[in-house]
Structure 1
């Protein structure tokens, strides 16, 4: 039997067992750090009872502990960047079209035996975070204690618990009993928004619904009654009818046009890079990240849209290979309007800038823009 020296502990290990043995080192390290974080937080809670020093605010102590002990997410990094490869492929397409895409975005895939089947929401948060770290300096300074990297799921779960503890999305947190660390529970758009808002990042929610908003049928939609950011102004101003009220538009065309208007940026290039963040895209059973949209102008004057999506269920290596070879990437990334068959969708987008203390208090209550299609 062939043996190989483990690069982490210098132990002789059967070659066929090396990968499993090496992975155990990472698992043990993560467990040890999780334990250290839990111990630090328990000491903070002990202080808060009055039996300890109680010198600092409990949440500030938790934030400080987690900032020091959180773990960087492990992912396959694509050089010179996945969006750079996507832009090249879109430029090479033969059909006449215009595409608008976000700037830098890393792809985070769900990992077998780790988060397959429940972790898509966390992976989408990681994708949005990678864009914020790369494209928005103001967000980079405040996110996750200013660590400068995208944390792993375990660390994100702890950050969300801290956000809940500080009063962000009280209603939503009650569905999880304010505890999610170590749980394999699905999260959605509201958890994404609450997490980002806890750092003063202006995360906004949009509900798209094909059903009438009837309170007497037990359906109560959050209505947005205050204008904060540019897309809210778009929907609340004179252009709102173009998006949400036109009976001439069929179903999900409303969703497509909203996304087109969100990413839209002046320019004559075939592929335009927008300064907008990707969109957290939620529907029943799954969530993905929208990194752009493509429009093809038809001879009859109509427009055909394709969403450009990164799916946590896909392999990053497979995505990279298909884009480098310019083969098969359309099946992985493009989604036409005919694929949008769900009756309800939710989006989360992020406005620029960081909220001050007073605005951050208002961000604790989650509202959404309601769009019926």
Structure 2
């Protein structure tokens, strides 16, 4: 039977047989940091060289530039050396990463949800993703800050189960969803590969061991670093956003993380006219969001699993970010209004803040599950929302370079 020991440096529980390697890896991190600092010095030197060769910036002084060039020439093999170090970091992480603890649900959480949706009274139609594992936040580990990581774990569980190409590349082909510390390491590696350099600067390129919120930007950077086509959609009604398309509704935008725009800020009291305008914007935003979500899941249906009331979609679940929290959208339901004038929508959501055991019990008994899973459109009253999902396939090397810049589709309302 394998025994477990605590690392004397970070106190993480590891296999005793791997303790020496794990402890030594901390010193490898120090060496990598030194190499990264050297890379920064080299980039400064290159910038100085460009300026020196440009007649507009010629100053007649070569002292500091010459020293920098000397350092640069003495490290001409740096790029290859750094690449080897990064490969070694990845290889070590693949061996050391720990599987996330997840409560197994017999039959699957979404299979139970489909059964509940089909048995509901009244007339309704639902779109739902085909598979996901629920990863709950734990008071002993990540309560209050870990929702973003838990949503990444939920989305990863879908990709590993439903996308063979993703299973081959995700987390070094391990075939399982890593725990939060391991995911933090993977995100740092994504940043080292130059994915989302703007967002990473908010964290000073370090996230391992930190109890910090992350958002869709970090989710996209992590998955893109494996060659997956993670996309972001930004729903925004704020006047501060000045990105418009030709028709005023959609535009490409650069998404800048991590969570600044979602933090609550103290503002002066609003007038009644401002509140009325916000209500109107909220109504437009609600409709824009639910229309997009419905069309998203409906665009790739699995007829094999469809029933009269529930259609299963092959699309990935949606990482759902809003002010102060994030959750995972696994589907959407619509039913006729009681007056028959319009349709009522409800998002079907898994919240990391809920206990998996509570979800399973309510879904299996078909009692009280609506309050845990359903979120009516009237609850969507935030000025901004972001969604992240993953398109099929693996990006080519040229496409990967483009994916390093985290951009998204802006939907204004």
TM-score (norm: length of structure 1) = 0.80
Are residues 1:118 and 2:157 paired? no
**Separation (CA, whole Å) in 2 of partners of 1:223 and 1:39:** 46
**Aligned equivalent of 1:262:** 296
Alignment match, 2:156: 129
Distance 1:338 1:34, change over 3 A: farther
Q: Cα deviations across residues 50-78 of structure 1 (Å, max 9, x unaligned)?
A: 89994962222211111111110011111
Q: Say if 1:30 and 1:55 are closer, same or farther in 2 by CA, change over 3 A.
A: same
Alignment pair present for 1:306 and 2:346: yes
Alignment of 1:146-165 (within 5 A): 146-165=173-192
Q: Corresponding residue for 1:368?
A: 408
1:115–1:248 CA distance, 2 compared to 1 (3 A): closer
Asked if the contact 2:136/2:150 (under 8 Å) is kept, the reply is: yes
Q: In the aligned structure 2, how far is the partner of 1:319 from the partner of 1:55?
A: 46
Equivalenced residue count is 328
Q: What is the rounded CA distance, in whole Å, between the counterparts of 2:318 and 2:190 in structure 1?
A: 21
Query: What is the match of residue 38 of structure 1?
Result: 26
Structure (1 or 2) with the larger CA radius of gyration? 2
Measured on the aligned residues, the alpha-carbon RMSD in Å equals 3.1
Aligned partners of 1:310, 1:178: CA distance in 2, in Å? 30
State the shift of 1:30 in Å.
Answer: 8.1
Q: Structure 1 residue 339 and structure 2 residue 379: aligned?
A: yes
Farther-moved stretch of structure 1 (303-312 vs 268-277) = 268-277
From 272, 289, 305, the equivalent of 2:328 is 289
> 1:273 aligned to 2:312?
yes
Equivalence for 1:72: 99
Q: Tell me if structure 2 keeps the 8 A contact 1:40–1:65.
A: no
Per the TM alignment, residue 45 of structure 1 is displaced from its structure 2 partner at its CA by 6.1
How far, CA to CA, are the matches of 1:293 and 1:356 in structure 2?
33
Residues 206 and 361 of structure 1, relative CA distance in 2, 3 Å threshold: same
Map Cα deviations across residues 71-108 of structure 1 (whole Å, 9 max, x no partner). Answer: 10011111111011111111111121111111110000
Change (3 A) 1:363 1:301: same
Q: In the TM superposition, what is the alpha-carbon distance from 1:251 to its structure 2 partner?
A: 2.8
Q: Which residue in 2 is equivalent to 1:358? A: 398
Unmatched 5+ residue regions in structure 1? Answer: 1-6, 10-25, 217-221, 227-246
The match for 2:201 among 169, 174, 188 is 174
1:47–1:174 distance in 2 versus 1, CA, 3 Å: closer
TM-score by structure 2 length? 0.73
2: distance between equivalents of 1:343 and 1:83?
Answer: 30
* SS of match in other structure, 2:13: helix
